[in-house]
Amino acid sequence: MKWNVVVTVQEHGFKQAREFLHEFGKINKTEYFNVLVMQVDDIDEFLDAVRIAISIHGKILDVVARIMPVTDSFQFQTPEEFEVKAQQVVTSWQTTLAGKRFHVRMHRRGFKGRMSSQIEERFLDGVIMKSLVQNSESPAIIDFEDPDYIIAVETVGQIAGLALWSREQLQRYPFLKVD
């Protein structure tokens, strides 16, 4: 299934999470424990609808650990292919990241022993920093304490999704829980 949202479910909350999320888009199980994927038509509308639903049914956060939409996705067969394609996505955000504080956070499912989340995070941090220097943009600063932006990278098997989230978006949608 094509997806643009990854949902991590609390233990024993699978059925309730599916019941809550089904109204927002197509939802499917994955081969990974307590991980669902969804396809929604409009990410902004989805985020606002979930925020409102959570304000009404706050207990849903007892079963849904995090909800992470992505704006760009691709398939990959090898860690090297992942890096090439991820590099293309993150460099498209260089204008937004110029002169800002940011970091990359990856949540990987699959490729155990073949790909390291920490190594890929550092690789993508470096790609952005190098791209900004080469293109004479204002340099960015890698910051884990108070970033202006966080790049979220999600993998489910051989599909990766990436999104760029601003501090304001993360405050507005606390269920994202990028870090």
What CA–CA distances, in Å, run from 156 to 2, 64, 125, 139? 11, 17, 21, 32
The sign of the dihedral angle between the CA atoms of 120, 46, 179, 111 is negative
Residue ranges making up the domain that contains 128:
72-173
31 with 96, same domain: the answer is: no
Residue 52: pLDDT band with limits 50, 70, 90: very high
Report yes or no on 61 lying in a domain: yes
19 with 103, same domain: the answer is: no
End position of a domain, from candidates 44, 69, 94: 69
Supply the pTM of this predicted model. 0.92
77 with 154, same domain: the answer is: yes
Whole-angstrom distance, CA of residue 88 vs CA of residue 155: 16
Q: Provide the pLDDT for residue 89.
A: 97
Please state the domain count of the chain: 2
Tokens of 117: 């989340």
Whole-angstrom distance, CA of residue 6 vs CA of residue 109: 11
Average pLDDT over residues 122-130: 94
Whether the predicted pLDDT of 60 surpasses 70: yes
Residue 136: pLDDT band with limits 50, 70, 90: low
Report yes or no on 114 lying in a domain: yes
Average pLDDT over residues 156-169: 96
Whole-angstrom distance, CA of residue 6 vs CA of residue 102: 22
50 with 78, same domain: the answer is: no
CA 111, 20, 43: angle at the middle one, nearest 5? 65
End position of a domain, from candidates 13, 48, 69: 69
124 with 77, same domain: the answer is: yes
Q: What letters, b where the CB count within 10 A reaches 16 and e where it falls short, cover 82-97?
A: bbebbbebbbebbeeb
Average pLDDT over residues 153-163: 96
Average pLDDT, the chain: 92
36 with 98, same domain: the answer is: no
Report yes or no on 178 lying in a domain: no
Whether the predicted pLDDT of 65 surpasses 70: yes
